[in-house]
Amino acid sequence: MSVDLLVQKIKEKGNPSVAGLDPQVSYVPQYIRDKAYKEYGKTLKGACEAIWEYNKGLIDALYDIVPAVKPQSAFYEMYGLYGEELLHRTITYAKEKGLYIILDVKRNDIGSTAEAYSRAYLGKTDIDGELVSACDVDSVTVNPYLGTDGMAPFIADCKKYDKAIFTLVKTSNPSSGELQDLDNEGRHIFERVAQSVCKWNKDTIGKSGYGAVGAVVGATYPEQAAVLRKLMPKSYFLVPGYGAQGGGADGVRPCFNDDGLGAIVNSSRGIICAYKKGDWKEEQFAEAARAEALRMKDDLNSVLN
Amino acid sequence: MSVDLLVQKIKEKGNPSVAGLDPQVSYVPQYIRDKAYKEYGKTLKGACEAIWEYNKGLIDALYDIVPAVKPQSAFYEMYGLYGEELLHRTITYAKEKGLYIILDVKRNDIGSTAEAYSRAYLGKTDIDGELVSACDVDSVTVNPYLGTDGMAPFIADCKKYDKAIFTLVKTSNPSSGELQDLDNEGRHIFERVAQSVCKWNKDTIGKSGYGAVGAVVGATYPEQAAVLRKLMPKSYFLVPGYGAQGGGADGVRPCFNDDGLGAIVNSSRGIICAYKKGDWKEEQFAEAARAEALRMKDDLNSVLN
C-alpha cells in the first residue's frame, strides 16, 4: 500500500530515474527493422517483432542501473493486438529482470468502470470466484478529472495488492496550463488536484514515509513543482519532461524532498534514442542507451547531493 | 470531419440512443458461462468466449433498432490479451452489422503520445511508409485535462479520416463536481472545458450542422446540461447516466437541441442486463435487451416530439 518497493529499488541502484519505453517503430535501428520486415512484412506483426528486439536490447542494457521502466501504453496500442501482446511480453521480461513497472495508461472513468481498469492492471479479475491477473504491474498513471469515485477503486487495490498510482497533477506539455493553471479562489486547479491527492494518499503511507497515491509533475514547470512538493509531501512524484522535452536536472530538483527522495524522473526518447545522437553506430543502440542512462543518473545525483 | 454518419444512422433508426457493451462476465447468463468454462475453464479465455457469445447475441438483437454501440474498453482490458482480442472481434462484428462504433477509452496524453492514441483508433499507424489500421472505429472518448496539445492529434485525424471524438466535459458520476464544478471567475471548470470544445469543434462542422468534437455530458446533471447545450451548440453530446445510473428521459431532454438532434443517450447495464429484471428467462437475454432498447427509444422520443 505504498511505493516502498520503488524507493527500495531507487536506493539500491542509487538512481532516481525511470526509462520510458515508448518505442515507435521509427526509433528502432534500421537493421533490426529490415530483419523483421523480411520475415513478416511491413505489418503490425513485423513492427512489433522489430520493437521487441529493440525493447529487449534496451532492457538488457539498463536493468542493472535503472530501478524502473515506464512503458507508455499508447505506443503499444497503436500497433493493435500485436502491440498489446508486445506490451505484455515487454512487461513480463522487465519484471524478470527485477525492474519496477510503471505502466503509463492515464486511465480513469466513473466508479464501476474505474474498478475494471484497476482490476486490469493492479488488482485481479473475478471469473466466477477465480481471481486472475490480467496484466500485473506495480503501478499505473491515472487521470483525476472524474474525482474521488474514479480514484477509489485504484486506491483500494493499492492497499489490497501493495501497488501504487501516479495521478496527473501538472503535466509537462506546453498547453497543460489551459485547464490545470485556471484560478480557483486564489489557487490553481493543479493545486486543488494536489490537495485531493494529499487526502487520497493519507492512509496509505508505508515504511519509506511515502504513500501509494503519487503525482505526475512535469519537469518543465519547476516553480509549480516547488509549490506541489509542499502540498503533497508524502506523495512520490513521477516527473516527465526531462531531456527530450527540455527539462534539466536543475528543473527537477524542486520535485525532490530534502531527503533526496520523493521523485523519479522519466526519460524516454532521451535514453532509447540516444544512439541517434553523437558518434554511435546503429548496432550500439543499447550501449548508447546505457551511457545516457548513466549520464542522467550522474546529472540527477549532482543536484541531489 | 464530423458526426454526419452518426446523425444519418440516428435518423434512419429514429433512435438517438447507443447501447453500451460493458460486459463483465458476471452479466453473462449462467448457461453460456457454464458452456465456456467447461471448454476453457474459469480462465481469461473462458470468460472471453462466454462474453463473445453474449455480445454477439446482443448485437444480433439490437443492430436494426439502435444506430450505435459503445464498447467500454475497461471491461475488455480487465480480461487481458484475450479481452483485447474480444474487443477487436466485437468491433468487427458490430461494424459488419452497420453499427456506428463509439469506443469508450477516455484516452489522452501529451501531444506526441496523444498522436499515438489517435493513430491507434482513428488514424493509421505508419510502418516505414505502410499505413495500417490498428483498430479502426468511428469515434472515441477523450479526456481534456492536458489541454489543446493532447486534443490536436485527435482533431487532425477526425478531419483526415472522417472520425469524431467525445470530450469529457461533465461526467455522470456523483463526484464529478469535485474538479469539474470548481469555480473559475464566475464559471465552472466544466464550462471552461465546454468553451474549449466549442473552439476545437469550430472548423469541423459537417452537413448535419454538427462538428467532429463532441462532448460527454452526464444525464444525471440536467441543469448543467442545459448550460452546456448553449455553450456548445454544434457539438454532439454523448450522454451517459440514463437508466442504471438514475437519469430518465426528462433528465436528458436538455442535452438535445430544438431540432431533436445533438445528443445520443447511452444505456449499458440497462440494456445488456435487462433479462435480470422482470420475468425473463436467461435464454431470453437478447430478447430482453431488444425490448428494453425499444422501450428506451420510445421513452426518448416521447420527450423529443
Tell me the pLDDT tens digit for each residue of A139-161: 999 999 999 999 999 999 999 99
Q: Which of A198, A218, A206 is nearest to A263 (CA)?
A: A218
A145 in contact with B, Cβ within 8 Å: yes
Q: What is the pLDDT of residue A243?
A: 78
Integer Cα distance of B163 and B165 in angstroms:
7
Q: What is the pLDDT of residue B21?
A: 98
Could you please report the per-residue DSSP string of A234-276?
A: TSPEEE--BSTTSB-HHHHGGGS-TTS-SEEEEESHHHHTGGG
Mutate to test the interface with B, among A119, A146, A198 (most CBs of B within 10 A): A146
Could you please report the per-residue DSSP string of B46-63?
A: HHHHHHHHHHHHHHHHHT
- Dihedral angle, C-alpha A232, A237, A243, A244, nearest 10 °: -100
Section B226-243 average pLDDT: 96
Q: What is the pLDDT of residue B304?
A: 94
Tens-digit pLDDT profile for residues A44-88: 999 999 999 999 999 999 999 999 999 999 999 999 999 999 999
Residue B173 is nearest to which of A74, A111, A134, comparing CB atoms?
A: A111
Q: Other C-beta atoms within 10 Å of B12: how many? A: 10
Residue B255, pLDDT > 80, answer yes
Cell of A228: 506541489
Residue A33 is nearest to which of B117, B128, B185, comparing CB atoms?
A: B128
Question: DSSP character for A123?
Answer: S
The three-class DSSP label of residue A94 is helix
Section A291-296 average pLDDT: 98
Integer Cα distance of B144 and A106 in angstroms:
12
Residues of B in contact with A23 (CB under 8 A): none
Give the start-end residues of each E strand in chain A.
17-21, 68-71, 100-107, 125-127, 130-132, 139-142, 164-170, 183-184, 187-188, 213-217, 237-239, 263-267
CA distance A207 to chain B (A): 30
Q: Other C-beta atoms within 10 Å of B202: how many? A: 11
Residues in B 77-136 with any Cβ partner in A closer than 8 A: 77-81, 83-85, 88, 104, 106-111, 113-114, 116-117, 119-121, 125-130, 132-135
Q: What is the pLDDT of residue B202?
A: 97
Residues of A in contact with B145 (CB under 8 A): 143-145, 168, 171, 179-180
Tens-digit pLDDT profile for residues A185-228: 999 999 999 999 999 999 999 999 999 999 999 999 999 999 99
Q: Other C-beta atoms within 10 Å of A161: how many? A: 16
Residue A247, pLDDT > 90, answer no
At residue B206, φ and ψ (nearest 5 deg) are -105, -170
Question: DSSP character for A78?
Answer: T
- Dihedral angle, C-alpha A49, A59, A122, A218, nearest 10 °: -110
The three-class DSSP label of residue B60 is helix
Mutate to test the interface with A, among B24, B136, B173 (most CBs of A within 10 A): B173
Residue B243's pLDDT band, with cuts at 50, 70 and 90, is confident
CA A29 to chain centre: 24
Residues of A in contact with B119 (CB under 8 A): 78
Q: What is the pLDDT of residue B1?
A: 61
Helices (H) and strands (E) in chain A, counts: 13, 12
Integer Cα distance of A255 and A222 in angstroms:
8
Question: Average pLDDT over chain B, rounded to whole?
Answer: 96
Inter-chain touch A110–B144, beta carbons under 8 Å: no
B178 in contact with A, Cβ within 8 Å: yes
CA distance B292 to chain A (A): 22
A240 in contact with B, Cβ within 8 Å: yes
Section B20-45 average pLDDT: 98
On whether the CB atoms of residues A118 and A157 are closer than 8 A, the answer is: yes
Q: What is the pLDDT of residue B244?
A: 66
Inter-chain touch B83–A47, beta carbons under 8 Å: no
Per-residue CA distances from A30 to B101, B112, B116, B126 (Å): 37, 22, 21, 15
Q: Which of B77, B72, B92 is nearest to B244 (CA)?
A: B72
Q: What share of chain A is helix, strand, coil (3-state, %, to 5)?
A: 50, 20, 30
Q: What is the pLDDT of residue A66?
A: 98
- Give the chain A residue nearest B134 (alpha carbons): A80
Cell of A81: 493486438
What domains sit in chain B, N to C, each tagged with a CATH number? 4-304 (3.20.20.70)
Mutate to test the interface with A, among B88, B92, B145 (most CBs of A within 10 A): B145
Strand duo A164-170 + A237-239: pairing: unpaired
Cell of B144: 481534456
Q: Other C-beta atoms within 10 Å of B96: how many? A: 10
Strand duo B263-267 + B17-21: pairing: parallel
On whether the CB atoms of residues A35 and A52 are closer than 8 A, the answer is: no
Section B239-247 average pLDDT: 81
pTM for this predicted structure: 0.98
Strand duo A125-127 + A130-132: pairing: antiparallel
Residue B236, pLDDT > 90, answer yes
The three-class DSSP label of residue A142 is strand
Tens-digit pLDDT profile for residues A9-39: 999 999 999 999 999 999 999 999 999 999 9
Question: Average pLDDT over chain A, rounded to whole?
Answer: 96
Per-residue CA distances from B135 to A78, A115, A236 (Å): 8, 24, 35
B174 in contact with A, Cβ within 8 Å: yes
Cell of B96: 459488419
Residue A1, pLDDT > 80, answer no
Residue B278's pLDDT band, with cuts at 50, 70 and 90, is confident
Helices (H) and strands (E) in chain B, counts: 13, 12
Q: What is the pLDDT of residue B248?
A: 81
Q: Which of A180, A112, A88, A100 is nearest to A143 (CA)?
A: A180
Residues in B 18-37 with any Cβ partner in A closer than 8 A: 22, 24-26, 33, 37
- Give the chain B residue nearest A136 (alpha carbons): B80
B181 in contact with A, Cβ within 8 Å: no
Question: DSSP character for B236?
Answer: P
* Active site residue ranges of B: 106
Section B144-168 average pLDDT: 98
Say which of A11, A35, A106, A124 is annotated catalytic: A106
Non-local (6+) Cβ contacts of A25 within 8 A are: A33, A47, A50, A51, A79, B127, B128
Integer Cα distance of B198 and A252 in angstroms:
35
Integer Cα distance of B39 and B35 in angstroms:
7
The count of residues in chain B is 305
Tens-digit pLDDT profile for residues B158-209: 999 999 999 999 999 999 999 999 999 999 999 999 999 999 999 999 999 9
Section B237-243 average pLDDT: 92
Residues of A in contact with B177 (CB under 8 A): 147
Integer Cα distance of B122 and A53 in angstroms:
27
Q: Other C-beta atoms within 10 Å of B279: how many? A: 7
Per-residue CA distances from A134 to B85, B87, B102 (Å): 13, 15, 24
Residues of A in contact with B106 (CB under 8 A): 107-109, 143
Residue B43 is nearest to which of A81, A132, A183, comparing CB atoms?
A: A132
Residue A260, pLDDT > 70, answer yes
Tens-digit pLDDT profile for residues A102-144: 999 999 999 999 999 999 999 999 999 999 999 999 999 999 9
Per-residue CA distances from B164 to A17, A204, B157, B265, B283 (Å): 38, 40, 9, 16, 36
The tally of CA atoms less than 13 A away on the side-chain side of residue A7 is 25
Q: Cell 469550430 maps to which residue?
A: B202
Q: What is the pLDDT of residue B305?
A: 75
Section B264-289 average pLDDT: 97
Integer Cα distance of A279 and B70 in angstroms:
50
